[in-house]
Amino acid sequence: MSTRVFMSSGDLVADRRYDFARDLQLRGDLYGAADLMAQAVELAPGFASAWFALGDIKQQLNQHDDAIAAYRRAIVADAEDRHGARLRLIRLGAEPIADMSPTYVRALFDQYAKRFEASLVGNLDYRGPELLLRAVIAARHAMRRPAFFKHGIDLGCGTGLAARAFADLVDRIDGIDLSPLMLEQAQATGLYNELQVADAVQGLSGKMAASADLIIAADVMIYVLDLVPLLREAARVLQPGGLLAFTTETHAGDGVVLGEGLRYAHGASYVRDVIAGVGLRLLQLAHASARNESGVAVPGLVVVATKD
C-alpha cells in the first residue's frame, strides 16, 4: 500500500496540471508527466501533493538528485508529511532512518479503510492473524495452559481481522488503532468491547498495569522503528503468565531497516534483545511470512513472549 493523498493547491490551473500529469504518469509517459508536474509547482510553489508526485516521477526516471530535491520541497510544504516524503528520502539514502509520521500512517489507513480487507487479503494473501492464532495456541499448549483469555488487547486492530481470528479464545477484546476510519469498520464487526483512536504506545499507556492476559499486534510493528517503548508498555500491561504475540517483517542482518515497501523490517537478534530488555521471556520466534508482494512471500517473523 502507498498513499495517494491529494491536497489542493488552491489554484485551479495548478490542480489541473497535477491531474493531467498524474494521468500521463499512469499511462507511462514519465517525461511528459514530469514536465506538467513541474508546471504545477511553478504555479503553486507550496503545492505539497505536486512536489511529492514530482519526486515520485523523478525517482521512476532514476533522476535521484531531482527526486530528493522534490521530496524535500514536499516536506517544507507539508510539515506533517502526509505523503511520506521522508520515507522516500530514507530509501534514497538522503536521510537517516527515522520514525514514520503518525499523520502519514493515519492518512495511509484512512484512505484504505473501506477496501482494506479486499486489498490486503485478496491481493496480498495476508495471513497475519492466522499465524498469530496458531502461535498463541501452540504457546499455551507448551505452557500446559488452556488457550483461553479473559482480556485481550488488539494493537493496530484495523478493520477487525485479528479479532475475528481470536473471537473464540478471548472473553473480552479491546482495539487500538491510529485510523478513525479503520475503527469505524472495526466497530461494525461487533467484536470489540472498547475501541480507541491512538497509536499503540499511547493506547497501552492508558491501560492499568497487569490488566490484560493477551496482547496481539498483527502487521503493526512494521510501522514502528523502535520497538522498545511499545514492548515496555506491553510488558507493564500484561498479567503474569499473559502472552504478547506479534508479527513483523525481517531481514538477514541486525537492527532495523526500511524496506522497499516503506515498512520497517526488524532483525531477529534485535527482536530477541528488545524482548529480553523489557523483562519478557521469549517463547517463540519463527520465520513466517504474513503477506505476499508481487507474488513473492515477504520475509517475516512470528513472535510470542510471556511475562513471568
Q: What is the pLDDT of residues 214-229, one digit of tens each?
A: 999 999 999 999 999 9
- Ranges of CATH 3.40.50.150 domains, the chain: 114-306
> Which 8-state DSSP code applies to residue 218?
S
Q: Is 274 helix (H, G, I), strand (E, B) or coil?
A: helix
Helix (H) or strand (E) holding 142: helix 128-142
> In angstroms, rounded to a whole number, what is the distance separating the alpha carbons of residues 11 and 307?
57
Q: pLDDT tens digits, residue range 189-205? A: 999 999 999 999 999 99
CA-nearest of 98, 100, 46, 108 to 75 is 46
pLDDT over 70 at 114, yes or no:
yes
What nine digits make up the cell of 40?
504545477
Return the pLDDT at 110.
Answer: 86
Return the pLDDT at 108.
Answer: 87
> In angstroms, rounded to a whole number, what is the distance separating the alpha carbons of residues 188 and 287?
33
CA distances from 63 to 33, 68, 202, 254, 276 (A): 14, 9, 40, 30, 44
Q: How confident is the model at residue 290 (pLDDT cuts 50, 70, 90)?
A: very high
Q: pLDDT tens digits, residue range 4-27? A: 677 888 999 999 999 999 999 999
Q: Phi then psi for 119, rounded to 5 degrees?
A: -70, -50
Report domain 12-96's class: mainly alpha
Return the pLDDT at 113.
Answer: 67
Task: Tell me the DSSP string of 99-118.
Answer: PPPHHHHHHHHHHHGGGHHI
Pairing state between β 300-306 and 212-217? unpaired
- Ranges of CATH 1.25.40.10 domains, the chain: 12-96
Return the pLDDT at 122.
Answer: 66
CB 171 within 8 A of CB 151: yes
Mean pLDDT confidence for 293-301: 93
Return the pLDDT at 125.
Answer: 81
Mean pLDDT confidence for 297-308: 97
Q: pLDDT tens digits, residue range 244-278? A: 999 999 999 999 999 999 999 999 999 999 999 99
Return the pLDDT at 4.
Answer: 67
Q: pLDDT tens digits, residue range 26-68? A: 999 999 999 999 999 999 999 999 999 999 999 999 999 999 9
Return the pLDDT at 250.
Answer: 98
pLDDT over 80 at 85, yes or no:
yes
> In angstroms, rounded to a whole number, what is the distance separating the alpha carbons of residues 64 and 233?
40
CB 276 within 8 A of CB 282: yes
Average pLDDT, the chain: 94
Tracing cell 525481517 back to the chain, one arrives at: 250
pLDDT over 60 at 289, yes or no:
yes
pLDDT over 60 at 1, yes or no:
no
Return the pLDDT at 99.
Answer: 95
Mean pLDDT confidence for 94-110: 93
Tracing cell 507511462 back to the chain, one arrives at: 28
Per CATH, which fold does 114-306 belong to? Answer: Rossmann fold (3.40.50)
Contacts of 28 (CB under 8 A, 6+ apart): none
